[in-house]
Amino acid sequence: MWPEDVRKKDVKVQYYRGSGSGGQNRNKRDTACRMTHSPTGLMATAEEHKTQRGNWKAAWKRLSSKLVPLMKAAAQPERPASSTERVRTYHEPRQQVKDERIKGKTWNYRDVLEGKGLDSILEELRVETEVE
């Protein structure tokens, strides 16, 4: 019944007397249930059932319906870089290399591939970051 990622020690369960009408059982017995997930602070309560077990199940269902989407979102890997997040573009037909972080400047394609032009790109990048 517990999801794999939720540890029992992370969920604090409290029982208390339910409020409202319901007669002698409701006024004398701690049947209402409050569950709190400590790491996230999410809380769920239930007091509609006559027994602790029924309210525990209802509270757990509510809490897990809040926790599962959070856990799935946290488990999703970062999305891969898109074309707008490229750092450097090598354009062979034009024989040029363009670094997206340095606006308006291009370098010779062959020089960069041979290692000669890479130093000038790095130097320009260092100057650009110092300015910012």
The predicted pLDDT at position 50 comes to 87
2 is a domain residue:
no
Residues 94, 60 share a domain = no
Residues 67, 25 share a domain = yes
Residues 50, 23 share a domain = yes
Amino acid at 12: K
Global model pTM greater than 0.85: no
Burial of 106: CB neighbours in 10 Å, binned 0-12, 13-18, 19+: middle
Residues 50, 89 share a domain = no
Cα pseudo-dihedral 122, 125, 126, 129, rounded to 10: -160
Domain containing 43 — which CATH number?
A: 3.30.160.20
Residues 115, 63 share a domain = no
31 is a domain residue:
yes
Helix (H, G, I), strand (E, B) or coil at 100: coil
Domain count, the chain: 2
Residues 29, 70 share a domain = yes
Residues 111, 71 share a domain = no
pLDDT tens string 85-128: 677 888 888 888 888 878 788 888 888 888 887 788 888 888 87
Counting Cα atoms < 13 Å in the Cβ hemisphere of 16 gives: 10
The predicted pLDDT at position 2 comes to 57
Domain range spanning residue 120?
Answer: 84-127
Percentage of the chain exceeding pLDDT 90: 23
Residues 121, 95 share a domain = yes
Residues 63, 33 share a domain = yes
- By C-alpha distance, which of 67, 71, 48 is closest to 58? 48
